[in-house]
Amino acid sequence: MKTYSTKNVRNVVLIGSAKSGKTTLAEAMLYEGKVIDRRGTVEDKNTVSDNSEFEQTNQKSVYASALYAEFMDTKFNIIDAPGSDDFIGGAVSAFKVCETGILLVNAQQGVEVGTEIFARYADRYGVPLLIAVNQLDSEKANWDHARDSIKSAFGGKPVFIQFPVNPGTGFDGFVDVLKMKYYHFKDANGNREELAIPDSVAAEAEELRNELIEKAAEYDDTLMEKFFEEGSLSEDEIRKGLSLGLKSGECFPVFCLSAKNDIGVKRLMEFTINTVPSPEETVSKTKDGGEVACRMDGPVSLFIFKTNVEQHLGEVSYFKVMSGTLTEGADLVNPETGNSERLSAIYAVAGAKKEKVSSLSAGDIGCAMKLKAGKTDVTLTVPGGEAYEHIVFPEPKYRCAIKAVDKNDDPKVGDALNKIAAQDPTVIVDYSKELRQTILSGQGEQHINLVKWRINNEFKLNVELFAPKVPYRETITKVATAQYRHKKQSGGAGQFGEVHLLVCPYVEGEPAGKTFKIDGKDTTFNIKSQESFDLPWGGKLEFFNCIVGGAIDVGFMPAILKGINDKMTEGPLTGSYARDIRVYVYDGKMHPVDSKEIAFILAARNAFKEAFRNAGPKIMEPIYDVDIITPNDYVGPCMSDLNTRRGMIMNQDMDKGFTVLHARVPLAELYRYSTSLSSLTAGSATFTMKFADYQPVPADVQTKLLAEYAAQEQEED
């Protein structure tokens, strides 16, 4: 393969809902680009994109596949992204390295929730979109519905470049109003003929042509002036206007396809070459806020957007050359760690096919194998270069606990999980010391099941998935005092320490009190010192030294604080972390010989424990902000389901034809919620969740939790 200049490279990501035909379109594009001479199908399990065992077995994409095609002296780099929300990480990574997205809409379904999700991500990353209405050859294809749903979802942004002549099983052509030609396809291999527009659709073609010209003129003042003066624009001028509209995110050109029969694919690729931005028109932001132009003559740098372990190859790192011209044997460094990396060989990639190349220009996409630190989201550059901004992945939506079936395999399972998470940053693995569980988080149950499948099949380990414990917190609701004397004498030097303390709730924004009732009398503390701590598990601890008259030497205060801190890691109700507490140490006793730090640590622990129990202790639970995007038909069932989960619906609004429910839901009620929501809405709704805060649990829930904890302690005893 020759080295393509930056201006002759196009990077596109294929996105859309599941079953919209992305993989089939990728096959047709590779066929047109002469990479393959026979198109595979998902059903026959022989597509270039879906080449992993899991994908072929389940007949769906779970990885973003990097591909290329050579067409009209241009190298197309194509990333076929998964259509399931569970595997959104692949699409998000692709947005980092692609200048254009092709959003597929299933002609049988119109715009779906998944279509909307991908469009939002494209907007967030500033990636221009083309819309391709696919499967117009299907028996249930409905062009009118698809067109209307596109208009409803995207407002005035869609610009219809084409419309089908015979949608349905007889679909064999379309009218292109940019070219003002009728493209008729003679077979299922992309062989077409250009004919005059049939009289039966001439009026519709003329109307859409006028709309196209008006839209193109909107994006450039010069074109607008010419349009007012002459009433029309040339084909090149229309392209110029559409290109400007694309770059600004205000224009979504719409095309007609049957990827299965290679109808419209070549025309889509032609338009992409002539109209969409090339990499040399872009700049990339660095972590420090700088910008790097995508130029062949710049310093060499690349960004790794994906890593994968592939059979017979080991770990493969997929990257985009962000600037300069990368040659094999290049020595680069990771600017964030200073570690060096030699790329002994570089490859152009089309799924499992890797073609060795001598160089890749800025803007091009390739891969390298067995890099020491070539993980996803890593920059490699010449010495002195800057790291690029990291990819911002969505928050996890599914959480479970995982452990090895055989305890002896625990270290191996941990190693396997870390390797998988390094390849897929949307997999989050965390050992919770608090819960004494390994927590595995991802984008949905399908995503987590893929992780389990990989551990079973790639690492040959058996694991068990189960509901995780909830990281509850404990706090207090009123004032209480306690005192404790630790005295130990066993020959020789003894241990002695006595601590009197008062605890009360910490409330954000409320000043600390000084006067409290102790034994029925108002007592005002003389605060000698105050310390405030942001606890690692959330919340606050405020510690006040109110000792007067030297009852306890100031040198023992750190030991008292340590004892309190130790006990806050194990609340008396459920053993959970305690938070949001003020502690006043106001009296005590010490011994000139026997008082030691350990004595005051133990005295403080026990005094704090007793005071906590008497201060109206309350269990608090993590609450999450949950936003559900659902078709209007399922709003009622979604709201009813949230009510059964102790969810509180805060408000709702509309977003491009869908209802968005904004709710607050306890984490304890969200286990497997992604699966339940999919079942409840026939797979048409989706959601996001993000930690909000901790709130007290209802009385009945606290009673249940206390009983469960008591039973657990009894079993352990």
Tokens of 673: 């919620």
Does 128 share its domain with 193? Answer: yes
Q: Which domain holds residue 442?
A: 398-469
The single-letter code of the amino acid at 61 is S
Does 200 share its domain with 295? Answer: no
In 402-444, where does DSSP find H-type helix?
A: 410-423
pLDDT at 492 over 80: no
Select from 232, 198, 196, 201 the least CA-distant residue to 217. 232
Per-residue pLDDT tens over the stretch 474-491: 999 999 999 999 998 776
* CA distances, 663 to each of 77, 140, 394, 634, 652 (Å): 41, 37, 18, 16, 9
Residue 322 backbone phi and psi in degrees, to 5: -85, -30
As a whole number of angstroms, the distance between CA 441 and CA 401 comes to 9
Q: What is the DSSP pairing of strand 129-134 with strand 252-256?
A: parallel
Q: Looking at residue 624, which CATH number applies to its domain?
A: 3.30.70.240
In 102-163, where does DSSP find H-type helix?
A: 113-125, 143-154
Does 480 share its domain with 465? Answer: no
Select from 680, 672, 705 the least CA-distant residue to 86. 672
* % pLDDT > 70, the chain: 99
Does 102 share its domain with 231? Answer: yes
pLDDT reported for residue 124: 83
On whether the CB atoms of residues 39 and 27 are closer than 8 A, the answer is yes
Does 143 share its domain with 254? Answer: yes
Beta-strand (E) ranges in 72-201? 74-80, 100-106, 129-134, 158-160, 162-164, 173-176, 181-185, 192-195
Does 240 share its domain with 327? Answer: no
Q: Looking at residue 296, which CATH number applies to its domain?
A: 2.40.30.10
Contacts for 527 with CB less than 8 Å, ≥ 6 apart = 512, 514, 544, 545, 546, 584
pLDDT reported for residue 138: 96
In the predicted model, what is the mean pLDDT of residues 424-435? Answer: 92
pLDDT reported for residue 286: 95
Q: Which residues of 401-434 are buried (b: 16+ CB within 10 A; e: fewer)?
A: bbbbeeeebeeebeebbebbbbbbbbbbbeeeeb
As a whole number of angstroms, the distance between CA 255 and CA 179 comes to 13
Find the range with the poorest average confidence among 208-222, 261-275, 461-475, 485-499.
485-499
Beta bridge partners, 486, equal: 497
pLDDT band of 716, cuts 50, 70, 90: low
On whether the CB atoms of residues 15 and 91 are closer than 8 A, the answer is yes
Domain-located, residue 370:
yes
pLDDT reported for residue 584: 97
Beta bridge partners, 618, equal: 475
Does 82 share its domain with 197? Answer: yes
Residue 163 backbone phi and psi in degrees, to 5: -145, 145
pTM of the model: 0.85
pLDDT band of 90, cuts 50, 70, 90: very high
* % pLDDT > 90, the chain: 78
pLDDT band of 42, cuts 50, 70, 90: confident
On whether the CB atoms of residues 367 and 309 are closer than 8 A, the answer is no
pLDDT band of 717, cuts 50, 70, 90: low
220: number of Cβ within 10 Å: 18
pLDDT reported for residue 691: 94
Please state, rounded to an integer, the average pLDDT across all residues of the chain: 93
Select from 710, 664, 709 the least CA-distant residue to 687. 664
Per-residue pLDDT tens over the stretch 281-319: 999 999 999 999 999 999 999 999 999 887 777 889 999
Domain-located, residue 646:
yes
As a whole number of angstroms, the distance between CA 24 and CA 582 comes to 63
Domain-located, residue 389:
no
Per-residue pLDDT tens over the stretch 668-691: 999 999 999 989 998 888 899 999
As a whole number of angstroms, the distance between CA 560 and CA 125 comes to 52
Domain-located, residue 124:
yes
On whether the CB atoms of residues 577 and 568 are closer than 8 A, the answer is yes
As a whole number of angstroms, the distance between CA 321 and CA 316 comes to 16
Domain-located, residue 132:
yes
Does 304 share its domain with 268? Answer: no
Does 607 share its domain with 625? Answer: no
281: number of Cβ within 10 Å: 15
The single-letter code of the amino acid at 86 is D
Beta bridge partners, 529, equal: 545
Q: Looking at residue 552, which CATH number applies to its domain?
A: 3.30.230.10
Per-residue pLDDT tens over the stretch 603-616: 999 999 999 999 99
Tokens of 471: 């990281």
Q: Looking at residue 187, which CATH number applies to its domain?
A: 3.40.50.300
Does 170 share its domain with 185? Answer: yes
Tokens of 332: 């680069």
Domain-located, residue 712:
no
Per-residue pLDDT tens over the stretch 358-401: 999 999 999 999 898 788 999 999 999 999 999 999 899 999 99
Domain boundary among 446, 469, 492: 469
As a whole number of angstroms, the distance between CA 286 and CA 322 comes to 11
Residue for token digits 């020959």? 491
Tokens of 639: 């709201």
Domain boundary among 231, 261, 281: 281
Domain-located, residue 709:
no
pLDDT band of 708, cuts 50, 70, 90: confident
Tokens of 154: 């995207």
Does 335 share its domain with 407? Answer: no
pLDDT band of 18, cuts 50, 70, 90: confident
Select from 667, 632, 629 the least CA-distant residue to 647. 667
As a whole number of angstroms, the distance between CA 265 and CA 259 comes to 7
Tokens of 693: 């805060």
Q: What domain count does the chain have? A: 5
pLDDT band of 53, cuts 50, 70, 90: confident
Find the range with the poorest average confidence among 43-47, 127-131, 480-484.
43-47
The single-letter code of the amino acid at 233 is L
Does 446 share its domain with 355? Answer: no
Domain-located, residue 387:
no
Domain boundary among 612, 641, 658: 612
Q: Looking at residue 403, which CATH number applies to its domain?
A: 3.30.70.870
